[in-house]
Protein backbone atom coordinates (compact mmCIF):
# COMPACT_ATOMS: atom_id res chain seq x y z
CA UNK A 1 0.00 0.00 0.00
CA UNK A 2 1.40 3.37 -1.01
CA UNK A 3 1.50 6.33 1.34
CA UNK A 4 -1.22 7.99 -0.75
CA UNK A 5 -3.54 4.99 -0.33
CA UNK A 6 -2.82 4.56 3.37
CA UNK A 7 -5.43 6.07 5.67
CA UNK A 8 -4.25 8.45 8.39
CA UNK A 9 -5.95 7.72 11.71
CA UNK A 10 -5.78 9.73 14.95
CA UNK A 11 -6.57 7.85 18.15
CA UNK A 12 -6.78 9.80 21.41
CA UNK A 13 -6.12 8.16 24.76
CA UNK A 14 -4.25 5.47 22.84
CA UNK A 15 -1.65 4.67 25.49
CA UNK A 16 -3.76 2.10 27.32
CA UNK A 17 -6.98 0.11 27.21
CA UNK A 18 -9.48 0.58 24.40
CA UNK A 19 -7.38 3.29 22.75
CA UNK A 20 -4.29 1.10 22.56
CA UNK A 21 -6.27 -1.84 21.16
CA UNK A 22 -7.89 0.47 18.61
CA UNK A 23 -4.56 1.89 17.46
CA UNK A 24 -3.25 -1.64 16.94
CA UNK A 25 -6.40 -2.69 15.07
CA UNK A 26 -6.11 0.14 12.56
CA UNK A 27 -2.39 -0.48 12.14
CA UNK A 28 -3.06 -4.16 11.46
CA UNK A 29 -5.41 -3.06 8.67
CA UNK A 30 -2.54 -1.14 7.05
CA UNK A 31 -3.36 2.36 8.25
CA UNK A 32 -0.90 4.95 9.55
CA UNK A 33 -1.87 5.58 13.16
CA UNK A 34 -1.15 8.76 15.08
CA UNK A 35 -1.10 7.50 18.66
CA UNK A 36 -1.89 10.33 21.09
CA UNK A 37 -2.10 10.49 24.87
CA UNK A 38 -1.08 12.53 27.90
CA UNK A 39 0.58 9.31 29.09
CA UNK A 40 3.73 9.78 27.05
CA UNK A 41 5.61 6.61 28.01
CA UNK A 42 2.57 4.42 27.39
CA UNK A 43 1.66 6.12 24.13
CA UNK A 44 5.20 5.92 22.79
CA UNK A 45 5.28 2.23 23.71
CA UNK A 46 2.11 1.53 21.73
CA UNK A 47 3.49 3.30 18.66
CA UNK A 48 6.80 1.42 19.01
CA UNK A 49 4.96 -1.92 19.31
CA UNK A 50 3.05 -1.18 16.12
CA UNK A 51 6.24 -0.33 14.23
CA UNK A 52 8.00 -3.40 15.63
CA UNK A 53 5.12 -5.52 14.32
CA UNK A 54 5.63 -4.06 10.84
CA UNK A 55 2.94 -1.41 11.04
CA UNK A 56 2.99 2.35 10.55
CA UNK A 57 2.63 4.63 13.57
CA UNK A 58 3.89 7.70 15.35
CA UNK A 59 3.33 9.06 18.84
CA UNK A 60 2.25 12.61 19.56
CA UNK A 61 1.74 13.84 23.14
CA UNK A 62 -1.70 15.43 23.26
CA UNK A 63 -3.93 16.88 25.95
CA UNK A 64 -7.48 17.11 24.60
CA UNK A 65 -8.23 19.98 27.03
CA UNK A 66 -6.16 22.43 24.97
CA UNK A 67 -7.70 24.08 21.91
CA UNK A 68 -4.30 25.44 20.88
CA UNK A 69 -2.66 22.01 21.11
CA UNK A 70 -5.55 20.45 19.20
CA UNK A 71 -5.25 22.90 16.33
CA UNK A 72 -1.47 22.50 16.27
CA UNK A 73 -1.77 18.69 16.16
CA UNK A 74 -4.23 18.77 13.27
CA UNK A 75 -2.19 21.34 11.32
CA UNK A 76 0.99 19.29 11.79
CA UNK A 77 -0.61 16.07 10.58
CA UNK A 78 -2.13 17.80 7.57
CA UNK A 79 1.23 19.39 6.71
CA UNK A 80 3.12 16.10 6.93
CA UNK A 81 0.51 13.63 5.69
CA UNK A 82 -1.86 15.80 3.66
CA UNK A 83 -5.04 14.39 5.17
CA UNK A 84 -6.85 12.95 8.16
CA UNK A 85 -9.14 10.06 7.28
CA UNK A 86 -10.32 8.81 10.66
CA UNK A 87 -10.55 10.21 14.18
CA UNK A 88 -11.19 7.97 17.16
CA UNK A 89 -11.99 10.27 20.08
CA UNK A 90 -11.42 7.88 22.96
CA UNK A 91 -9.65 9.91 25.66
CA UNK A 92 -11.68 10.01 28.84
CA UNK A 93 -11.63 9.93 32.64
CA UNK A 94 -14.01 8.61 35.30
CA UNK A 95 -13.46 9.65 38.89
CA UNK A 96 -15.77 8.38 41.63
CA UNK A 97 -17.13 11.45 43.43
CA UNK A 98 -20.18 11.70 45.68
CA UNK A 99 -22.60 14.48 44.82
CA UNK A 100 -21.74 16.31 48.05
CA UNK A 101 -18.08 16.38 46.97
CA UNK A 102 -18.71 17.11 43.28
CA UNK A 103 -17.26 20.60 42.95
CA UNK A 104 -17.58 22.78 39.89
CA UNK A 105 -13.92 22.07 39.17
CA UNK A 106 -14.37 18.29 39.20
CA UNK A 107 -17.46 18.56 37.02
CA UNK A 108 -15.69 20.85 34.55
CA UNK A 109 -12.62 18.61 34.33
CA UNK A 110 -14.69 15.59 33.35
CA UNK A 111 -16.67 17.54 30.77
CA UNK A 112 -13.53 19.19 29.40
CA UNK A 113 -11.98 15.80 28.65
CA UNK A 114 -14.89 13.44 28.04
CA UNK A 115 -17.08 15.75 25.95
CA UNK A 116 -15.44 19.02 24.97
CA UNK A 117 -12.22 17.17 24.09
CA UNK A 118 -14.12 15.31 21.37
CA UNK A 119 -15.71 18.52 20.12
CA UNK A 120 -12.33 20.31 19.93
CA UNK A 121 -10.74 17.63 17.75
CA UNK A 122 -13.78 17.24 15.50
CA UNK A 123 -14.01 21.00 15.02
CA UNK A 124 -10.33 21.27 14.11
CA UNK A 125 -10.32 18.35 11.66
CA UNK A 126 -13.72 18.92 10.02
CA UNK A 127 -12.66 21.59 7.49
CA UNK A 128 -10.06 19.35 5.86
CA UNK A 129 -12.42 16.36 5.87
CA UNK A 130 -15.20 18.42 4.33
CA UNK A 131 -12.85 19.76 1.67
CA UNK A 132 -11.92 16.19 0.70
CA UNK A 133 -15.57 15.05 0.96
CA UNK A 134 -14.39 12.16 3.08
CA UNK A 135 -13.84 11.31 6.72
CA UNK A 136 -15.01 9.26 9.66
CA UNK A 137 -15.20 10.37 13.29
CA UNK A 138 -15.91 7.85 16.04
CA UNK A 139 -16.56 9.06 19.58
CA UNK A 140 -16.60 6.98 22.74
CA UNK A 141 -19.68 7.15 24.93
CA UNK A 142 -20.67 4.49 27.50
CA UNK A 143 -23.65 2.42 28.60
CA UNK A 144 -23.61 4.87 31.51
CA UNK A 145 -24.35 7.60 28.95
CA UNK A 146 -27.02 5.88 26.88
CA UNK A 147 -29.07 3.81 29.33
CA UNK A 148 -27.80 3.61 32.90
CA UNK A 149 -27.24 6.10 35.66
CA UNK A 150 -24.11 5.63 37.75
CA UNK A 151 -24.14 6.71 41.36
CA UNK A 152 -21.14 8.77 42.48
CA UNK A 153 -20.38 9.35 38.77
CA UNK A 154 -23.05 11.92 37.91
CA UNK A 155 -20.55 14.04 35.99
CA UNK A 156 -19.32 11.05 33.97
CA UNK A 157 -22.83 9.87 33.07
CA UNK A 158 -23.82 13.39 32.04
CA UNK A 159 -20.73 13.87 29.88
CA UNK A 160 -21.13 10.50 28.19
CA UNK A 161 -24.79 11.32 27.50
CA UNK A 162 -23.55 14.53 25.94
CA UNK A 163 -21.41 12.51 23.55
CA UNK A 164 -24.59 10.99 22.10
CA UNK A 165 -25.99 14.44 21.33
CA UNK A 166 -22.65 15.59 19.95
CA UNK A 167 -22.50 12.60 17.60
CA UNK A 168 -26.01 13.27 16.31
CA UNK A 169 -25.47 16.98 15.80
CA UNK A 170 -22.12 16.60 14.06
CA UNK A 171 -23.45 13.78 11.89
CA UNK A 172 -26.28 15.89 10.52
CA UNK A 173 -24.09 18.94 9.95
CA UNK A 174 -21.29 17.07 8.20
CA UNK A 175 -23.23 14.42 6.25
CA UNK A 176 -23.66 16.41 3.04
CA UNK A 177 -19.89 16.80 2.85
CA UNK A 178 -19.22 13.08 3.03
CA UNK A 179 -18.08 13.00 6.67
CA UNK A 180 -19.62 10.32 8.88
CA UNK A 181 -19.85 10.63 12.68
CA UNK A 182 -20.72 7.68 14.89
CA UNK A 183 -20.17 6.52 18.44
CA UNK A 184 -19.59 3.42 20.50
CA UNK A 185 -21.01 2.84 23.98
CA UNK A 186 -18.97 0.11 25.68
CA UNK A 187 -20.35 -1.97 28.53
CA UNK A 188 -18.12 -3.49 31.19
CA UNK A 189 -14.70 -3.80 29.55
CA UNK A 190 -11.65 -5.29 31.25
CA UNK A 191 -9.49 -2.17 31.45
CA UNK A 192 -7.42 -0.47 34.13
CA UNK A 193 -10.31 1.96 34.58
CA UNK A 194 -12.88 -0.75 35.30
CA UNK A 195 -10.52 -2.63 37.62
CA UNK A 196 -9.81 0.47 39.70
CA UNK A 197 -11.17 0.04 43.23
CA UNK A 198 -11.05 3.79 43.75
CA UNK A 199 -12.96 4.91 40.68
CA UNK A 200 -14.93 1.95 39.33
CA UNK A 201 -15.96 -1.64 40.07
CA UNK A 202 -12.59 -3.06 41.10
CA UNK A 203 -11.58 -6.69 40.36
CA UNK A 204 -14.20 -8.26 42.63
CA UNK A 205 -17.01 -6.05 41.36
CA UNK A 206 -15.97 -6.72 37.78
CA UNK A 207 -16.25 -10.48 38.24
CA UNK A 208 -19.69 -10.05 39.82
CA UNK A 209 -20.71 -7.97 36.83
CA UNK A 210 -19.57 -10.71 34.46
CA UNK A 211 -22.03 -13.08 36.10
CA UNK A 212 -25.05 -11.08 34.94
CA UNK A 213 -23.81 -10.24 31.43
CA UNK A 214 -25.74 -12.58 29.09
CA UNK A 215 -22.59 -13.53 27.17
CA UNK A 216 -21.03 -14.52 30.48
CA UNK A 217 -17.87 -12.45 30.39
CA UNK A 218 -16.47 -8.94 30.57
CA UNK A 219 -15.59 -7.34 27.27
CA UNK A 220 -12.02 -6.87 26.11
CA UNK A 221 -10.52 -3.72 24.60
CA UNK A 222 -10.27 -5.65 21.33
CA UNK A 223 -14.04 -6.28 21.36
CA UNK A 224 -14.54 -2.52 21.21
CA UNK A 225 -11.65 -1.82 18.84
CA UNK A 226 -13.07 -4.13 16.17
CA UNK A 227 -16.44 -2.32 16.22
CA UNK A 228 -14.67 1.04 15.96
CA UNK A 229 -12.71 -0.29 12.97
CA UNK A 230 -15.98 -1.38 11.36
CA UNK A 231 -17.55 2.05 11.83
CA UNK A 232 -14.56 3.61 10.05
CA UNK A 233 -14.76 1.12 7.17
CA UNK A 234 -16.66 1.14 3.89
CA UNK A 235 -18.86 -1.54 5.45
CA UNK A 236 -20.49 1.26 7.48
CA UNK A 237 -20.61 3.69 4.55
CA UNK A 238 -24.34 4.45 4.99
CA UNK A 239 -24.20 4.78 8.78
CA UNK A 240 -23.96 8.12 10.49
CA UNK A 241 -25.28 9.60 13.71
CA UNK A 242 -25.45 6.21 15.43
CA UNK A 243 -24.09 5.13 18.82
CA UNK A 244 -23.59 1.37 18.94
CA UNK A 245 -23.84 -0.35 22.31
CA UNK A 246 -21.21 -3.10 22.68
CA UNK A 247 -21.92 -4.79 26.00
CA UNK A 248 -22.33 -8.54 25.65
CA UNK A 249 -26.13 -8.20 25.91
CA UNK A 250 -26.09 -6.38 29.25
CA UNK A 251 -28.69 -3.72 28.48
CA UNK A 252 -31.19 -6.05 26.86
CA UNK A 253 -30.68 -8.84 29.37
CA UNK A 254 -30.79 -6.94 32.67
CA UNK A 255 -34.37 -6.91 33.96
Catalytic residue annotation: 156
Query: Residue 150 CA to chain centroid, in angstroms?
Result: 20
DSSP one-letter string for 87-123: EEE---------GGG--HHHHHHHHHHHTHHHHHHHH
Element (DSSP H or E) covering residue 32: strand 32-37
Q: Which residues contact residue 62 at a Cβ distance below 8 angstroms, ignoring those fewer than 6 apart?
A: 12, 36, 37, 38, 69, 70, 73
Q: Which residues contact residue 152 at a Cβ distance below 8 angstroms, ignoring those fewer than 6 apart?
A: 96, 97, 98, 99
Across the strands, what pairs with 9?
A: 33, 86
Element (DSSP H or E) covering residue 61: strand 56-61
DSSP state of 222: H
Amino acid sequence: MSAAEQRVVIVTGAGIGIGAATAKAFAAAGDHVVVTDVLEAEGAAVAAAIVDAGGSAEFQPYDVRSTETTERLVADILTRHGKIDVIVANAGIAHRTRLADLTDEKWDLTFDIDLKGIFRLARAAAPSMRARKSGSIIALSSIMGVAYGWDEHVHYSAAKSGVVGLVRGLAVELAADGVRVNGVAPGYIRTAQLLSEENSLGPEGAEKAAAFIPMGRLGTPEDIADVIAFLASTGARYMTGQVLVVDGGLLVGRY
